[in-house]
Structure 1
């Protein structure tokens, strides 16, 4: 983000962890929070 391009790897990986958690009935609240925060940071630049 500081380099002028958004790094979405963290956002992608945490969303994938959340998706897998949902598939297997495992709560992933910390990963969801991280995904939300990184998504907001990417949008804000």
Structure 2
């Protein structure tokens, strides 16, 4: 399993929200120190 999700979002606002939450997660978590992270890519 490679973590790929082939869903395409219809609403750009959802992509913007997902990217905001991803950045918040990356800024506030310590998981990057201990584990590899496969960063999601959101597309419209």
TM-score by length of 1: 0.42
TM-score by length of 2: 0.43
RCO greater where, 1 or 2, for CA within 8 Å and sep 6 or more? 2
